[in-house]
């Protein structure tokens, strides 16, 4: 292998993820169809099975889904530098657009009509957020234990100033404890 195709590979990765970053609104899961079309169907960088694994890994690791996928695909195609170029590609459009936007943002918001528009828009954000709650809850097992855990997190966050980091860490530990307890109980039954 000589150096030239490598550089072309980085450039293609960068451009492909630049396109994904520039043309998906809302981020996160809204990106998955486009990532799939580009990386599985067009470039054949990863297989359909890799794609499913990637979503599972992205879901089970912290962070930005778009960055998770870009790093994953980039690494598969061209190692560390591939993952770096893909990640820069997927974040650059947002970065540039928001930098430019925030220059005009204040004068934009001081306009009377814009202020009125945003008083309406905030009401739409409420709906979007409750829709997000409903969608996220589909990823959970809805048995008594998990419902109580979710409700406890809600009450701690809504009624006390408890730090969200500790709520998440605590929930992770409780989840591990519950899994261990279930495992012990199952093996205890098997031993009888």
Please identify which residue in 7, 97, 184, 186 interacts with other proteins, judged by CB under 8 A: 97
Question: Residues 29 to 88: which contact other proteins by CB under 8 A?
Answer: 29, 31, 53, 56-68, 71-72, 75-76, 80, 83-84, 87
User: Interface with other proteins includes 13 (CB under 8 A)?
Assistant: no
Per CB under 8 A, the segment of 5-13, 40-48, 102-110, 184-192 that binds other proteins is 102-110
The number of residues that bind other proteins (CB under 8 A) is 99
Taking the CB of residue 14, how many other CB atoms lie within 10 A of it? 21
Nearest Cα to 17, choosing from 80, 94, 99?
94
User: Interface with other proteins includes 144 (CB under 8 A)?
Assistant: no
What single string gives the DSSP state of each residue in 58-74? HHHS-S-HHHHHHHHHH
User: Interface with other proteins includes 184 (CB under 8 A)?
Assistant: no
Residues 108 and 114 sit within 8 Å (Cβ to Cβ):
yes
User: Interface with other proteins includes 153 (CB under 8 A)?
Assistant: yes
Residues 28 and 93 sit within 8 Å (Cβ to Cβ):
no
Whichever of 11 and 29 has its CB closer to other proteins, that residue is 29
Per CB under 8 A, the segment of 9-17, 41-49, 150-158, 184-192 that binds other proteins is 150-158
In 3-state terms, what secondary structure has residue 111?
A: coil
User: Interface with other proteins includes 18 (CB under 8 A)?
Assistant: no
Whichever of 7 and 151 has its CB closer to other proteins, that residue is 151
For residue 64, which phi and psi values (nearest 5 degrees)? -85, 120
CA distance 13 to 6: 11
What is the maximum span of the chain, computed from C-alpha positions, in angstroms?
74
Residue 37 CB, nearest distance to other proteins (Å)? 16
């Amino acid at each position: 292998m000589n150096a030239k195709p490598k550089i072309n590979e980085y450039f293609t990765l960068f451009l492909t993820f630049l396109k994904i970053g520039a043309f998906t609104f809302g981020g996160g899961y809204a990106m998955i169809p486009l990532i799939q079309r580009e990386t599985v169907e067009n470039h054949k960088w990863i297989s359909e099975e890799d794609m499913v694994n990637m979503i599972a890994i992205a879901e089970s690791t912290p962070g930005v889904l778009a960055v998770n996928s870009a790093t994953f695909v980039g690494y598969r195609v061209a190692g560390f530098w591939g993952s770096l170029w893909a990640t820069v590609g997927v974040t650059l459009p947002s970065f540039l657009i928001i930098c430019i936007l925030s220059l005009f943002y204040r004068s934009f918001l001081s306009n009377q009509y814009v202020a009125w528009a945003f008083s309406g828009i905030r009401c739409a954000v409420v709906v979007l957020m409750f829709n997000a709650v409903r969608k996220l809850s589909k990823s959970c097992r809805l048995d008594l234990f998990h419902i109580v855990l979710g409700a406890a997190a809600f009450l701690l966050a809504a009624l006390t100033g408890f730090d969200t980091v500790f709520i998440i860490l605590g929930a992770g530990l409780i989840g591990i404890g519950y899994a261990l307890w279930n495992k012990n109980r199952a093996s205890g039954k098997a031993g009888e």
